[in-house]
Amino acid sequence: MSTNTPANDPPRDSLAIEREAADWLARRDGEDWRDADQADFVRWLDADAAHHVAYLRLAAAWRQTGRLQALGAGWQGNGPPPRGYWQAPLATRSEQLLQAMAERPAARGPARKPVWVRAIATAAVLMACIGAGAWGWRAYHQVEITTYRTAMGQVEDLPLADGSQATLASNSQVEVRMSRRTRSVRLLQGEAIFAVAKDPGRPFVVDAGTHQAVAVGTRFSVRRDARDLRVVVTEGIVRLESSPGAGAPQPASLLPADSIALVREGGVLVRSVAPGDAQRLLDWREGVLAFRDTPLAEAAAEFNRYNPRKIVIGDADVGALRIGGSFRWDNAQGFAQLLEAGFPVRADYGAERIVLHSR
C-alpha cells in the first residue's frame, strides 16, 4: 500500500472505514437494533468525520436502491429475475417471466401459488365453508365486494381499501373485491385508471371479460368497449392474459411503461409509444380530452363517452378531418364551435345531438 502518507496526519485506511460503515448500516437495517446499539453507533459516527462521511455515502446509495421496486413491478418469479432481464427485448422478458411463473409453485412451496390457483382455491374453500357454516374461518378470509358506478359525464376518484387508487371514467362500472390474499377488480363497463399500491404478495388483477391485466405496483388504465379492450400503461409493467374461463387461453403479453395494448376479436396488439403519449390518453381524468392528428370521427366518439348530447358525424369528409389539441370533455358545444371557426365544418345544434357537416 501507500508509503507516502504524511506522518503528521495519518488518514485511516478508507476501505476499513467503508466496511465498518457498511456493517453499521446493515445492522441498522436488521431487526435486532437496540438502544445500546444506537449509542455505540452514534459514538462510532462521532469519533471521526471520515466515519460520518463514509456512512452518509452508503446510506444515500442504499436509499436509491429502493427504486429496484420499480424494476420489480410485474416480475412474479421466485427471487430476482435472471441477469440481463431488464436489458433483454420485451419478447425474451415475457418468456422469462412466464417460465419463472411456471416454476414458481414448486420452488416456493404452498405459501405463494399463482393467482389463478389461489383464486380457485379461495373460491372452492369459500363454497365449502358456506356449505359447512364455518363462519369464523370465513371471516378470516373475508372478501369485501363493493360496486362503484359513474353516470354519464361524471368522473370519480375512488380510494381502495389496499391503498390503491382507481379513477372511474364517465359511464363506467367496476366491482372491487379485496381480501387478505387477492385484490381483484372486475371492469363491467367503461374505463378506469389504476394507481396500484405495492404489494408483491397480492397481485392486483383487473378482469375485463375476455382478458385480465395483472400488476404488482404500477399505474395503468383499462377500458372496455362493445368491441375492444384497451390497456394503457404509464408506469411499471402490467401482464395481460386471458381471463380464467374465457375460452382457449392465449399466451400472456407483458406491457411495459408507455405502451398501449388493444384487444380485438381475440387478438392482442401491443404498441410502444413515445413517453408522454400514453399519459395523454389518460388526460380525461383532469377533465380534458387530448388529441393529436386524430380523425374527427374518433374524437367525436371520445366526446360521446362523456356526454348524453352526442356529436354526430354527418358525412365521411367531415369524419376524416384530422384534429389536435386539448378540449374539456364537458363542453361538446364549445368543441363544435371551435371546429366551425377553424375548419370547413358546419354544425347543427339540436337538444340531443350536434350534427357536423362539411361545407
Partner 1 sequence: MDGDLDRWFIEHILVHEAALQRYLTRCWPHRDEVRDLRQELYTRIYQAAAKARPASPKSFLFSSARHLMADRARHARVVSIVPMGDFEPSHVLVDDVSPERWCGGRETLARLSDAFDRLPDRCREVVWLRRVEELSQKEVAMRLGISEKTVEKHIAKGMRLLADALHADQDDPAAATGVDDEHEHAR
- Footprint of partner 1 on this chain (CB under 8 A)? 1-6, 11, 13-15, 17-19, 22-23, 25-27, 29-31, 42, 45, 48-50, 52-54, 56-58, 60-62, 64-72, 79-80, 83-87, 200
For the bound state, the minimum distance from the C-beta of residue 78 to partner 1, rounded and expressed in Å, comes to 9
Minimum separation from the CB atom of position 152 to partner 1 (A): 38
Provide, rounded to whole angstroms, the least separation between the CB of residue 194 and partner 1: 20
Rounded to a whole number of angstroms, the minimum distance from the CB of residue 101 to partner 1 is: 15
Contacts of residue 151, defined as CB under 8 A and 6 or more positions apart, other chains included, come to 170, 171
Cα gap 212→230, rounded to integer Å:
11
Cβ distance to partner 1 smaller for residue 25 or 355: 25
* Cα separation values, 243 from 115, 122, 266, Å: 11, 17, 12
243 alpha-carbon distance from chain centroid: 18
Pick between residue 4 and residue 139 the one whose CB is nearest to partner 1: 4
Q: How far is the CB of 200 from partner 1 (least distance, A)?
A: 5
Angle at 265 between CA 307 and CA 228, to 5 degrees: 20
Cα distance between residue 2 and residue 116, in whole Å: 61
Q: What is the dihedral of CA 68, 72, 73, 75, to 10 degrees?
A: 180
**Closest separation between CB of residue 88 and partner 1, Å?**
11
Q: Torsions phi, psi of 336, nearest 5?
A: -65, -40
Nearest to 346 by CA among 332, 331, 357: 357
Distance of closest approach, residue 198 Cβ to partner 1, in angstroms: 8
Cell of 103: 416454476
By beta-carbon proximity to partner 1, the closer residue of 57 and 292 is 57
Which helix (H) or strand (E) covers residue 159, if one does? Answer: strand 156-159
HSE, side-chain direction, 13 A CA sphere, residue 52: 6
Nearer to partner 1, 26 or 39 (CB): 26
Decide whether 1 or 351 has the Cβ nearer to partner 1. 1
Q: Which is nearer to partner 1, 26 or 91 (CB)?
A: 26
Closer to partner 1 at the Cβ: 74 or 319? 74
Strand partners, 81: none
Least Cβ distance, residue 100 to partner 1 (angstroms): 13
Measured from the CB atom, is 23 or 103 closer to partner 1?
Answer: 23
Go through the chain and tell me how many residues it has: 359
Least CB distance to partner 1 at residue 252 (A)? 21
Phi first, then psi: give them for residue 264, nearest 5 degrees: -145, 130
> What does the alpha-carbon distance between residue 131 and residue 138 come to, in Å, rounded to a whole number?
11
Find the DSSP H helices in the chain. 14-29, 35-47, 49-64, 68-72, 90-108, 115-132, 135-140, 277-280, 296-306, 316-320, 332-342
Nearer to partner 1, 85 or 148 (CB): 85
Report the amino acid identity of residue 334. G
Amino acid in the structure at residue 270:
V
